[in-house]
């Protein structure tokens, strides 16, 4: 049903009636349409907007056909028990089908004009309603854990960027929630430091920033206390204000999004409080959670179970910010909209696939959280595995979220459970280079002495389905390595009966094509091809067919969080992880994680800033793979 709303000015009276006039309708239209009207009156509300635009109230009224059959008036009668109505503007919303045909008027119950003591002519108190505009929904985004690092560095800036790009609903408010006691003003100061303007649109940025900050509020409370969330609820309602009331009538809505930027051990507490005390009575309530989703199959299942006590699956948005990266998203575009790739996308042409993630810094004093999880849980089991699934899935029925996720789950469920001898773990040790010394992982004061937590891991995975049978998918992730990058490398098979075999000498590997999808830094896609060096002799060379995003698309590539937040607001679930997906992902890694811990397998030490432990080479060699990122001609 399309909805309308109307606005009318009324004055101080005790009772007022809103009267619909049927226009040309027959005299008994009121009785004829009584049942429709009754349905309508059920939901009819009037809304008063007082002098403070924030304070608004809803009043239920009832609609009745006037008693005199001769009168074809229908009235919505509202009463307020004690106080007279203050002078205010009322918004009236009713179902459009029923109302558009009629003009409607406002009358006081006693027949006198609403605002006068003495009677005046009818025209003076009759005001015709006009349809004003389509009603919009509101969205309130509560960042739980607002004083944390992630919130400050990523979430607020991403929200601002969305606002800046007009990608956020018009009526939005942002709440920070944390234990620290801060005023709204203090929070605004805190986040204003991290907001940045898009380089390509600097103009009027500070105005925009100011507008944005005016929509930011703060509420302090405990994470596990429902009272504190009820207070939040009250503040949210205040902000949602009038829109809240409208929403109740028209079925459009005050929506609420909670972003849990907090340690996983308090997820459930917050979700309980938020869902019981601060969920939206009218619109949707969604919760974004970030990894880690448990430590293994069992704890992940428990977490899901506990969350589902309070939320349904479609309210939970499990975020993997890697999936929000522009290029990962474009992986599907690349595959499914280019004829030249999809036919090659199988064991027939692809020799191996490498998923590489490296950071060129260590834990730097923040290893406390990391030590509990290790690199396999932190990066491999989620980011890299998600990318792998997206890479290897069959063509989905459509681009709808459920279709894509169904395909991803199929891939994950076809994967072999990872074996210990297909895993290499490492940990970085101290190193001195160029007069500077770099600390070992265990030197980090937040890391327990003698920790065996891996900061590096390499693994060989296999997908036992028709498309990928026998193709090794190698993963490598590590901290404190020589570069920071994330990329997917696809090495194709040798050209059968290569005419130019002689030109490559014995190293045929050098002659194979390689497709590289670099996620960071500098998003790029390039294909290594063989090429003849110009000149009289036959010299072959490798060169890159290169799509460097920054060069081709000179706009700023949005941060992953922007996309994910926008998707969560719009309810687009493609980039979020479903619980069966999570189960399947854990099933692959849990046994090996258990074994590593039970056998207390010592990680191989590698120097800070190096290329990682030697074991990774042997692992690759065992599967007849050469790491693409370490080969000598890897100049980009």
Ligand X SMILES: *[C@@H]1O[C@H](CO)[C@@H](O)[C@H](O)[C@H]1NC(C)=O
Q: Does 551 bind ligand X (CB under 6 A)?
A: no
Considering the complex, state which of residue 186 and residue 541 has its C-beta at the smaller distance from ligand X. 186
Nearest to 375 by CA among 361, 390, 357, 393: 357
**Which of residues 2 and 227 has its CB atom nearest to ligand X in the complex?**
227
Task: Judge if the upstream peptide bond of residue 517 is cis by omega within 30 degrees of 0.
Answer: no
Closest to ligand X by CB, 220 vs 358, is: 220
What CA–CA distance (Å, rounded) separates 496 from 617?
Answer: 26
Q: Which two tokens stand for residue 383?
A: 């980011």
> Distance from CA of residue 391 to its chain's centroid?
20
Q: How far is the CB of 222 from ligand X (least distance, A)?
A: 6
Is the CB of 522 or the CB of 633 nearer to ligand X?
A: 522
Shortest reach from residue 180's CB to ligand X, in Å: 9
Catalytic residue among 42, 383, 482, 494: 383
The two three-digit tokens of residue 66, written as one number: 């006037």
SS3 499: coil
Give least dist CB 330 to ligand X, A: 4
Torsion of CA 27, 32, 34, 37, to 10 degrees: -80
244 close to 255: Cβ distance less than 8 angstroms: no
Place of tokens 């009603």: 135
383: annotated active-site residue: yes
What residues from 570 to 599 belong to the interface with ligand X (CB under 6 A)?
A: none
Compute CA distances 32 → 25, 38, 39, 123, whole Å: 11, 11, 13, 28
* Residues 511-550 as x/- pattern, contact with ligand X by CB under 6 A: ----------------------------------------
165/469 with CB nearer ligand X: 165
Instruction: Please count the residues of this chain forming the interface with ligand X, following the rule CB under 6 A.
Output: 13
Residues 201-230 that bind ligand X (CB under 6 A): 203-204, 220-222, 225, 227-228
**Whole-number minimum distance, CB 329 to ligand X, in Å?**
5
**Which run of H or E residues covers position 42?**
helix 34-43
What backbone phi and psi angles, to 5 degrees, belong to 178? -165, 175
DSSP bridge partners of 515: 490, 527
- Could you tell me how far CA 345 lies from the centroid of its own chain? 29
Which C-beta is closer to ligand X: that of 130 or that of 201? 201
Shortest Cβ distance from residue 523 to ligand X (Å)?
A: 9
Residue 603 Ramachandran class (φ > 0 left, ψ -120 to 50 alpha, else beta): beta
In whole angstroms, give the CA distance from residue 12 to residue 612: 78
The nearest distance, CB 288 to ligand X, in angstroms, is: 20
Label residue 548 left, alpha or beta by phi (over 0 means left) and psi (-120 to 50 means alpha): beta
Q: Please report how close the Cβ of residue 151 comes to ligand X at its closest, in angstroms.
A: 17
In the bound state with ligand X, the residue whose beta carbon lies nearer, of 179 and 416, is: 179
Beta strands in 360-463 (DSSP E): 423-429, 431-433, 436-438, 456-461
Show the site string, 304-343: x = touches ligand X by CB under 6 A, - = not. Answer: ----------------------x--xx--x----------
Neighbouring residues of 428: CB distance < 8 A, sequence distance ≥ 6: 362, 440, 441, 455, 456, 478, 479, 480, 605, 606, 607, 608, 610
> CB of 228: closest distance to ligand X in angstroms?
4
Query: 326: part of which helix (H) or strand (E)?
Result: helix 326-336
**For ligand X, the closer CB: 220 or 513:** 220
Task: Give CA–CA dist 174/218, Å, rounded.
Answer: 8
Give the residue numbers annotated as catalytic, written as ranges: 383
- Site residues, ligand X (CB under 6 A): 179, 203-204, 220-222, 225, 227-228, 326, 329-330, 333
């Amino acid at each position: 049903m399309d909805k309308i709303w109307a606005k009318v000015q009324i004055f101080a009276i005790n009772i007022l009636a809103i009267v619909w006039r049927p226009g040309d309708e027959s005299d008994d239209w009121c009785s004829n349409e009584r049942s429709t009207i009754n349905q309508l009156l059920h939901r009819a509300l009037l809304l008063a907007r007082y002098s403070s635009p924030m304070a608004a109230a809803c009043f239920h009224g009832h609609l009745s056909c006037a008693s005199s059959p001769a009168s074809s008036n229908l009235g919505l009668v509202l009463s307020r028990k004690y106080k007279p109505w203050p002078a205010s503007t009322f918004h009236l919303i009713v179902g459009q089908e029923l109302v558009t045909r009629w003009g409607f008027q406002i009358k006081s119950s006693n027949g006198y004009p609403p605002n006068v003591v003495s009677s005046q002519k009818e025209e003076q108190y009759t005001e015709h309603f006009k349809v004003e505009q389509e009603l919009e929904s509101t969205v309130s985004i509560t960042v739980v854990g607002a004083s944390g690092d992630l919130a400050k560095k990523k979430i607020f800036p991403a929200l601002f960027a969305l606002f800046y790009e007009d990608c956020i609903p018009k009526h939005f408010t942002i709440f920070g929630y944390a234990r620290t006691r801060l005023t709204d003003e203090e929070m605004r100061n805190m986040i204003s430091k991290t907001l940045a303007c898009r380089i390509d649109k600097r103009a009027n940025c500070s105005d925009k920033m100011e507008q944005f900050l005016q929509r930011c509020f703060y509420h302090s409370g405990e994470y596990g206390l429902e009272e504190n969330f009820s207070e939040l609820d009250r503040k949210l309602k205040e902000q949602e204000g009038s829109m809240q009331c409208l929403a109740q009538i028209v079925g459009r809505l005050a929506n609420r999004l909670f972003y849990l930027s907090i340690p996983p051990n308090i997820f459930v507490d917050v979700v309980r409080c938020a869902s019981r005390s601060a969920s939206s009575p009218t619109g949707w309530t969604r919760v974004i959670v970030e990894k880690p989703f448990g430590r293994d199959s069992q704890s992940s299942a428990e977490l899901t179970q506990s969350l589902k006590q309070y939320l349904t699956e479609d309210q939970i948005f499990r975020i993997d910010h890697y999936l929000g990266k522009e290029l990962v998203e474009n992986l599907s575009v690349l595959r499914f909209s280019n004829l030249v790739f999809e036919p090659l996308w199988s064991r027939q042409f692809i020799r191996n696939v490498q998923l590489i993630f490296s950071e060129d810094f260590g834990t730097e004093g923040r290893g406390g959280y990391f030590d509990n999880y290790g690199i396999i849980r932190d990066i491999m089991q989620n980011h890299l595995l998600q990318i792998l699934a997206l890479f290897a899935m069959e063509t989905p029925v459509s681009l709808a979220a459920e279709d894509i996720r169904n395909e991803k789950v199929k891939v994950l469920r076809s994967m072999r459970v990872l074996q210990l001898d297909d895993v290499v773990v490492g940990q970085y040790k101290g190193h001195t280079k160029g007069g500077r010394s770099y600390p070992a992982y265990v030197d980090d004061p937040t890391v327990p002495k003698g920790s065996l937590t891996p900061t590096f891991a390499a693994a060989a995975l296999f997908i036992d389905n028709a498309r990928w049978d026998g193709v090794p998918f190698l993963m490598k992730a590590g901290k404190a390595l020589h570069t920071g990058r994330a990329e997917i490398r696809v090495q194709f098979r040798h050209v059968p009966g290569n005419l130019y075999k002689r030109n490559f000498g014995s190293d045929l590997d050098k002659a194979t094509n390689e497709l590289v999808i670099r996620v960071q830094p500098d998003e790029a896609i390039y294909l290594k091809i063989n090429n003849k060096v110009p000149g009289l002799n036959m010299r072959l060379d490798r060169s890159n067919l290169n799509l460097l995003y920054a060069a081709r698309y000179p706009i700023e590539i949005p941060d992953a969080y922007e996309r994910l937040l926008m998707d969560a607001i719009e309810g687009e679930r493609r980039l979020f992880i479903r619980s069966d997906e999570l189960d399947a992902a854990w099933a692959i890694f849990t046994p090996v994680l258990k074994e590593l811990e039970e056998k207390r397998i010592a990680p191989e030490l590698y120097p800070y800033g190096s290329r990682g432990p030697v074991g990774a080479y042997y692992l690759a060699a065992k599967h007849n793979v050469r790491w693409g990122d370490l080969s000598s001609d890897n100049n980009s």
